[in-house]
Amino acid sequence: MAAPKSEVLQGTLDLLVLKTLDSMGPMHGFGIALRIQQVSEDLLQLNQGTLYPALLRLEQRGWIVSKWGTSENNRKAKFYSLTRAGRKQLEQEAESWERMSAMINRVLRTT
């Protein structure tokens, strides 16, 4: 059996979504889900559904905006893109994530 997949922490999911939109440009929900799964090499256990409340949350806070458009194979889909506020938020969160993981790493090494 493969190693158990990790559950996604809520705050982390926000960060992943923001990062994905930052590097890939406007995307629809399914695309974001695929992309996160690919990048994490399927190690993240993600119910694709949970993405949508997260997207809504980010939109309510003004970090992303959505717009109906047409997908690559001509399907109607809602596209999300990062706002200026969202980019700033991403920078802050990425930074605090790095600080946090560096700290945890240090703790793990010293004991």
Partner 1 sequence: MRATLRSIVQRLAALFRRRRLEDDLDDELRSHLEMSIELNLRKCLSPADARREALKSFGGVEQTKEIYRDQRGLPMIETTLQDLRFGLRMLRRSPGFSALAILCLTLGIGANAAVFSWIEGILFRPYPAVTHQERLLALGGTARGEARGTPISWPDFLDLQRSCTLFDAFFVTKIMGTTLSIGDRAEVTTGSIVSANYFDAIGVNPILGRGFEPGEDTGRNAHPVTVISYQLWKGRFKGDPQIIGKTQRLSGTLHTIVGVMPEGFYGTFVGWAMQFWVPASMEETFEAGGYKLEDRGARWIEAYVRLKPGVNLRQAQEEISAVAARLESAYPDTNRGRGIRLWPLWQTPFNNAGTLLPTLEIMLVVVVFVLLIACANVGNLLLVRSFARRHEMTVRMAIGAGRGRLVKQLVTEGLVLSAFGAVGGLLVAHWCRHALVLLFPARGGVTMHLPGEIDGRVVALSAGVCLLATLVVGVIPAIQMRKLDLAGALKADSAGVVGGAGRAWVRSGLVLVQVSLSFVLLVGAGLLLQSLQQIRTSSPGFSTHEVLETFVPLVSAGYDAPRAQSFQDELLERVKALPGVESAAFGRMTPLSYGSFSSTPIAVDGYQPPPEEQPIVQYNEVGPDYFATMGIPLVSGREFTRADDEKAALVAVVNETMAAQYWRSRSPIGERVQVKGRWMQVVGVAKDSKYESVRETPKVFFYVPLRQNFSRGADLFIRTPLNAETMATALAREVHTLDPGLALYEVITLQEQVDRSTSPQMVAVTLVGVLGGLALLLATIGLYGVMSYAVSQSTRELGLRMALGANASNLLRLVISRGLALTAGGVLLGGVVALALTRLLGNLLYKVSPYDPLAFVSAFVVMTGASLAACFMPAWRAIRTDPARALRE
Measured from the CB atom, the residue of 70 and 105 that comes closer to partner 1 is 70
Minimal distance, residue 101 CB to partner 1, in Å: 24
Identity of the amino acid at 55? L
Residue pair 53/10 in contact (Cβ under 8 Å)? The answer is no
How does strand 64-70 pair with strand 44-45?
unpaired
Please say which residue, 49 or 107, places its beta carbon nearer to partner 1: 49
Shortest Å, Cβ 5 to partner 1: 12
Question: Burial of 103 by CB count in 10 Å (0-12 exposed, 13-18 middle, 19+ buried)?
Answer: exposed
CB nearer to partner 1: give 19 or 79.
79
Least distance CB 66 / partner 1 (angstroms): 9
As measured in angstroms, the least distance from the Cβ of 108 to partner 1 is 32
* List of residues contacting partner 1 (CB under 8 A): 28-30, 33-34, 47-50, 52-53, 56-57, 59-63, 71, 73, 75-78, 85
Q: Would you call 13 helix, strand, or coil by DSSP?
A: helix
Q: Are 110 and 94 in contact (CB under 8 A)?
A: no
